[in-house]
Amino acid sequence: MCLEKLISGYPMGDVTPQDFIEHLTIGADGWLGAWIAIALTAIFGLLVYIIPIYLTEKDKMGPYPLWLHTFYCAADFMGIWVFLDAWKNYDHFPLFLILSVGEAIWVCMELYSLQRALTYEKDIIWKPGTSFKSHLTDIIIQVVCFFTGLNMLRFELHDETMWKFWIFTQVFITIVPGLVLEKRGYRKGNNIWLHITLIIVAVLSFNPWCNMWLCIAPDFFSPEANPWYYIMGLICLIMSIRGLLIYKSLPEKSRSRND
């Protein structure tokens, strides 16, 4: 029965703005835990960009590959108007406006990170000697392709609130930095607090008791309805821990750069 569920079982229904209202309205069953889960996820979601911005200024190199910045820029730009539209159409429910503002903040951090990549990492990302115009064109093409592809995915999944595919932002952020760090083979652009933060993000996003996806749409994101979500979560947790262990195994940064 379990194997059949993994092979041919699918969660039913959609995640609509009404789900947010029903589970987050003050007095609703579990509303306080849901708000706390969302707040913690948002705080640590901000930290996974605040820490890299600090590292980029300190080490003149960030921990993420260029495509991760362009992916997040596309996804979060879409989120601005998706949640703003929900706020406009669902009686100005406050969380939708908060999420839209949060997405705008993330986009600003992502654009800043892209500008810093153009400044500090141009000879690492692109062939040395190529023009600024070609670098900028590369970034624009990536953002446009991701933005178009994510919108296609959102429409095909009938994902009115982005709640179905949005979890992929957590999948990438908990897995990719450790793989990039392993490939580089040095600590520059990373620190221990980033990798601890990524472990916490994995726990907050995929724990089966009170993650924000489950709190908003329990029928869609429960372990019984969506076991692959939690299998993916276990892999994300393992990979984020692995990233920390890789960081610890690498030589310390030079004394001129306090880690």
225, 197 Cβ separation under 8 angstroms:
no
Q: What does the pLDDT read at residue 84? A: 97
Q: What does the pLDDT read at residue 138? A: 98
Residue 44 domain-assigned (yes or no): yes
Residue 81 domain-assigned (yes or no): yes
Q: What does the pLDDT read at residue 257? A: 45
pLDDT tens figures, 152-195: 999 999 999 999 989 999 999 999 999 999 999 999 999 999 99
* 258 pLDDT higher than 70: no
Structural domains of the chain, count: 1
- Which letter, b or e, does each residue of 171-203 get, where b requires 16 or more Cβ atoms within 10 Å of its Cβ? bbbbbbbbebbeebeebbbbbeebbbbbbbbbb
Residue 171 domain-assigned (yes or no): yes
User: Is residue 106 exposed (0-12), middle (13-18) or buried (19+ Cβ within 10 Å)?
Assistant: buried
User: Is residue 26 exposed (0-12), middle (13-18) or buried (19+ Cβ within 10 Å)?
Assistant: exposed
Residue 119 domain-assigned (yes or no): yes
Residue 259 domain-assigned (yes or no): no
Q: What does the pLDDT read at residue 255? A: 60
Percent of the chain with pLDDT over 70: 98
Residue 179 domain-assigned (yes or no): yes
Q: What does the pLDDT read at residue 6? A: 80
Residue 204 domain-assigned (yes or no): yes
What's this model's pTM, rounded to 2 decimal places?
0.94
* 1 pLDDT higher than 90: no
Q: What does the pLDDT read at residue 38? A: 96
What rounded mean pLDDT belongs to the chain? 94
pLDDT tens figures, 168-180: 999 999 999 999 9
pLDDT tens figures, 5-38: 787 778 878 899 999 999 999 999 999 999 999 9
pLDDT tens figures, 104-153: 999 999 999 999 999 999 999 999 999 999 999 999 999 999 999 999 99
Residue 98 domain-assigned (yes or no): yes
Binned at pLDDT 50, 70 and 90, residue 218 comes out as very high
Structural domain boundaries enclosing 156 = 16-249
